[in-house]
Chains A and B, each alone.
Chain A
Amino acid sequence: MTRMARLIDITRCTACRGCQVACKNWNQLDGEIGEFTGTYQSHIDNSPGRWTMIKFYEQKKPTGLEWHFRKNCCMHCGDPGCVKACPNNALKKADNGAVIRIEENCIGCGYCVPHCPFGIPKIDEQAEKMKKCSFCYDRISNGMQPACAKTCVPRAIVYGTWDEMAALAEERLVQAKEHYPNSIIYGKDELDGLGVIYILPDSPDQFDLPVNPTLAPTLGLWKDVVHPFGNFVLGASIVATGLAFLFSRRKAFEAKESAKLEEGGYHDEQKND
């Protein structure tokens, strides 16, 4: 199966929030009416019930005022930190590139949370589950576009194979640079390529994105070495304890037997056992 991706060209986005609503609609997530946040932004961040949202950035630049809108959602990384961090196999990288949750395995432990460079996984404390964008796995597995891409009127969100989106990104970059000379592509090389490739009008840090997203070096260590080693050690400990018990029982028995033979009161001790 080919790896799929979304191109999110924020130089085209008009922040209509169609994607934010389409995601709620398709996934039947409840509305979460909050308070005025200070800007047009609906909430501070994603939540277990809000898998995508638009973040607003007012920027005063020497060339004039700019206002940018970034759709914030799971990047479906090529090298997903959350998958490595999960102790319970509740996350996996599907063949089509989606980083999907295995609902029954998730215990809501939150280990994935600090290991996502983008702050995406959110824990539903009540349900004890992590929630995030699924890349509309049910839709894309059936030949449909994700709900957000389908609804996007200015084609700021485009869906296709990873290679197609990477190529389209190059074309869009040329146009973006006409208005925003510092435009970059973000997501082609990072973390084995992200499942969301952004066109950003300027550096990632201006849009709450890490400039060089990396995973903790110990993360692989945990999952690939320590955890299995720990399992091994745990298993070995159990076996060793069992053996030790058996050996020590035999020794105690032998000691007792010796003591009994020395004292000669064999029958009385038997009755007291």
Chain B
Amino acid sequence: MKNTDVALICGSNAAENHPVSFSWLSEAREKRGAKIIHVDPRFTRTSARSDIYCPIRSGSNIIFYSGMINYIFENQRYHKDYMLHYTNATFIIKDEFNFDDVTGLFTGYDEAKGAYADRSSWDYVRDENGDYVRDMTLSHPRSVYQLMKKHYSRYTLEKVAAAAGAPIDKLEQVYEIYSSTGEVGKAGSILYAMGQTQFTSGSQNVRCMAIIQLLLGNMGIPGGGVNALRGHSNVQGSTDMALLFHLLPGYLPSPNEGLGTLEAYNATTPAAPAWWANRPKYIASLLKAWWGNAATPENEFAYGWLPKSKVGKNYAHIALFEAIHAGEIKGLISWGQNPVVAGPHHNFSTKAMEKLDWLVVLDPFENETAAFWKRPDANPSDIQTEVFLLPPSTFLEKEGTVTHSGRLIQYRWKAVDAPGNCKHESYVIDSLAKRLKQLYASSTRPEDEPIKALTWDYPDPDRDHRGFIDAVMKEINGRDLTTGKQMSGFAALQDDGSTDCGNWIYSGMYTETHGNRTQSRVLDDPGGWGAHLGWGFAWPANRRIIYNRASVNPETGQPWSEDRRYMWFDNATNAWGGYDIVDGGAALKDDNGNLNPPFIMMTERVGKLFSPTTGLTDGPFPEHYEPYESPTDNIFNGRQNNPAHYSGPVGSLDKGDRSQYPIICSTWRVCEHWHTGATSRNMPWLAELMPASFVEMSEELAAEKGIKNGETVEIFNARGVIKAVAMVTPRNGVFNVNGQNTHQVGLTWHFGYQGLVTGDIANILTPHVGDANTAIPEYKAFLVDVRKVNA
């Protein structure tokens, strides 16, 4: 990020919540005169330190970005050669594909199912050989380029300003400056976080950024990138290791009952030349890691023992709490989480928990989840849940790796012992596994085989915590089972059972030659781009910028600009040189003289402006839909809400109308507190920084309601009512949305009823709906009203 010329922060409060990331932007400003742009409903500490601030109302991300896409097309700000050769702009799309702005739907929608059941029209035209058909002149009306240009032509500057409630001059200034990075040699970086993702169209919000960065040629170059600032110190590690229901480690899909055999599973493998075509090697190696010698070619490496989800069933957070409500789930382990404070629609979700037979909570403090049975308005004598609170050691008291937003895996050493009876989580998981195995050891039931056969031969973590971590890391890296040696990387993994690997993308982090590379702390930085290849290990293969072959001119193999000399192809040696690990070792061109394109994970091997059938479930192009609860109508198409968004069947019915609740509300974080405040509200040095839950509101709204700064107010909607202290500030404004003055308020979600400082739970107000693809709850835009508390 220090290499950027323009940084756009949208859907993030980087200076507050990711201060280190912001300090690199600061360095870019200091050393290269970079500009920092902040687009956000509130004027935050990020806005205070940015060069340009543009307000937009919460829920208008796709409006804002679509306006930028339109601006880029109208003013031809794209990096033309990059677009021609490294994206699917030139690809021809099937005639059957269409978007109807009257209905607001793409082709293939099933109203009864609430989903795009048939996405076959979202696809490329093929020639008689099965190859893509392309028009390099970009004039074919069915080319992605022309389809996009038409699709985004509706997002004019005037309409965008009106619908987003943004000042039109600021909007244009932002578009002009950011799109200047389309110029060859310039780099633009987009930083985002939950302000992009936590919407019913969150995934499409993210697609917008990918599209813009591809149009401007900002992918694969230093200072470019779509830079997710992850919401938790090791959430990257957790998603890499698949603590998500739909994945297996390394972003392999987790199977449903429809894929009963390994053969069926492997039949869904993306076709070569996509790098994903290697997937069968990764699943076989994963199964070998888990079941060792019990996983054989004969039994499909024990694929049958993998739990299978029900076809079409969702197991995301909202779905889990709906299932608890429905009595389907009787026990819950809440491990390093505080869903009572962090989950949406608190009243529905926490009431549902009263039906649980048992609850296990792992947290250094008795958090709100552990104390749910004695929360305000609970009647403990009515609740039969047996609650176990296990005290784990915290991040300074244990060791292991953390993976950050840059995919960098860094080992951390234990600094101090945990107090009292606190135990490492490695002890807890090890004990759980061993006891389960013991419990089922003499069982003859087929369903108990997976647990019986699970390999679990690590050192005892209670006696040798470091040794346990070390053994697990070695397994995650993977081994050649014929020699017992550590794999040097995933390229050598096999599908025949001769290798094991707990996570293919981490393979290479612990090798015979280098040992545990996540512990490496070499500062050298040849080229000065900040690659620091000797510091930690970045997946995949220690590559720091992915798709870095897109940083060269496809004709010459030389960097697009000598100002950004990062990777290059040497025709004499037929090899790549540069300051990073080249992304895909293939030569610049194949034997027929055709380019080997750089986006190696995709079947198309180019970046996708149009996302076809196998991409997102709610459309090949991002399209604006209003949040589930919105103060205004969708002016861009005839469909108010995302037609495929996820709705908790019962909880989503608690929906408010703008006639009763006209104010937009959002939830967000601050630097001083951590997530649900389970740790920070128990630490005096942090608790004293922000001792009260406050609701930010504009001076105009406060005047309308007769509210004074510091006064306790109630914020209420269809799902509940909370109190907070009013923070009346000019940093919140009024939005003129489609001609209507619209207020927006917001609060942190850091407060709960436990700890040294307490406050009402903000998630009492948030809805039980989520993104069409991920089901991430729409925490960022919903409706409320505000009133003074009657004395």
Chain A contact residues, CB within 8 Å of chain B: 11-12, 14-18, 20-21, 24-25, 30-36, 38-40, 42-43, 58, 60, 64-69, 153-155, 175, 179
Contact = CB atoms under 8 A, between A and B. Distances in A.
Given A24-B685, A38-B709, A33 B757 contact: yes
A223 B150 CA distance: 82
B688 A38 contact: no
Given A14-B46, A153-B19, 16 more contacts: A14-B49, A16-B19, A18-B19, A21-B689, A36-B692, A36-B725, A38-B709, A38-B710, A39-B727, A39-B729, A42-B688, A42-B690, A43-B688, A65-B731, A69-B45, A153-B23
Nearest to A37: B710
Contacts of B691: 33-36, 42
A155 B48 contact: no
A21 B685 contact: yes
Tell me if A's interface is mostly helix, strand, loop or mixed: loop
Contact of B710 (A15, A34, A36): A36
Contact of B683 (A31, A153, A154): A31
B671 A17 contact: yes
Interface of B: 15-16, 19-20, 22-23, 26, 29-30, 43, 45-49, 51, 53, 670-672, 683-692, 694, 709-710, 725, 727, 729-731, 756-757
Given A16-B19, A68-B48, A154-B23, A38 B727 contact: yes
Contact of B26 (A33, A66, A69, A154): A154
Contacts of B49: 11-12, 14, 154
A34 B51 contact: no
B684 A65 contact: no
Nearest to B44: A67
27 contacts: A14-B46, A14-B671, A15-B671, A16-B671, A18-B19, A21-B685, A32-B684, A32-B688, A33-B688, A33-B691, A33-B756, A35-B691, A35-B692, A36-B710, A36-B725, A38-B709, A38-B727, A39-B729, A42-B688, A43-B688, A58-B731, A60-B730, A64-B53, A153-B22, A154-B23, A155-B23, A155-B26
B688 A67 contact: no
A67 B729 CA distance: 11
A11 B725 CA distance: 29
> A11, A17, A20, A68: which has the most chain B beta carbons within 10 Å?
A17
Nearest to A17: B689
Given A31-B684, A33-B757, A14 B16 contact: yes
A163 B385 CA distance: 66
A14 B688 contact: no
A60 B731 CA distance: 10
B762 to A, nearest CB: 16
Contact of B685 (A31, A35, A67): A31
Given A31-B688, A36-B691, A14 B729 contact: no
B22 A154 contact: yes
Contacts of B43: 65, 67
Contacts of B20: 153
Contacts of A66: 48
The 8 A-B pairs of least Cβ separation, nearest first, read A31-B684, A67-B48, A36-B692, A14-B15, A31-B688, A33-B688, A36-B725, A154-B23
B730 A12 contact: no
A20 B689 contact: yes
B150 to A, nearest CB: 37
Contacts of B53: 64
